[in-house]
């Protein structure tokens, strides 16, 4: 099963980013590429706080690009991983839509501030 984006798959995007940036990413390494990804996730949170659609669009794109770059470094096909885990069912309860008990947060010690201010 292929996830399509305007006639292109997520795998196509990952391959394109490999062609664009793998020579840089491989020099940077996994740890620093992961650090860039975390920075972009933080910037996305700040964009969500500000509520600017244009800024959020850019940050969502950056997060996805850095995620795919990291996946390229560690040899993970993200499309295959997402489709095999989530396609057509919740991975926990196996239902569509999910019938798991609603949880407010991740249940881990991660706190994210998205306060307007």
CATH label of the domain that carries residue 51 = 1.10.287.1080
Our count of domains for the chain comes to 1
Stretch among 9-18, 43-52, 84-93, 105-114 having the lowest mean pLDDT: 105-114
Is residue 102 predicted with pLDDT exceeding 60? yes
- Residue 117 — very low, low, confident or very high, per pLDDT cuts 50/70/90? very low
Is residue 42 predicted with pLDDT exceeding 60? yes
Max CA pair span of the chain: 44
Q: Is residue 93 part of a domain?
A: no
Q: Determine the average pLDDT of the residues in 26-34.
A: 96
Q: Is residue 65 part of a domain?
A: yes
Mean pLDDT of the chain: 89
Q: Measure Cα distances from 112 to 34, 46, 81, 108, 109 in Å.
A: 18, 10, 26, 11, 10
Q: Is residue 98 part of a domain?
A: no
Task: Note the pLDDT of residue 106.
Answer: 74
- Residue 21 — very low, low, confident or very high, per pLDDT cuts 50/70/90? very high
Q: Is residue 97 part of a domain?
A: no
Instruction: Give this prediction's pTM.
Output: 0.82
Q: Are 5 and 13 in contact (CB under 8 A)?
A: yes
The rounded distance, in Å, linking the Cα atoms of 32 and 37 is: 9
Is residue 46 predicted with pLDDT exceeding 50? yes
């Amino acid at each position: 099963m292929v996830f399509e984006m305007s006639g292109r798959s997520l795998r196509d995007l990952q391959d394109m980013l490999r062609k664009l940036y793998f020579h840089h990413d491989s020099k940077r390494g996994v740890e620093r590429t992961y650090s860039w990804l975390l920075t972009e996730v933080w910037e996305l949170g700040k964009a969500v706080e500000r509520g600017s659609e244009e800024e959020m669009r850019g940050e969502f794109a950056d997060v996805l690009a850095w995620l795919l770059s990291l996946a390229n470094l560690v040899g993970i096909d993200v499309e295959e991983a997402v489709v095999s885990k989530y396609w057509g069912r919740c991975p926990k309860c196996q239902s569509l839509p999910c019938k798991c008990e609603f949880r407010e947060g991740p249940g881990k010690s991660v706190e994210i501030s998205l306060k307007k201010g």
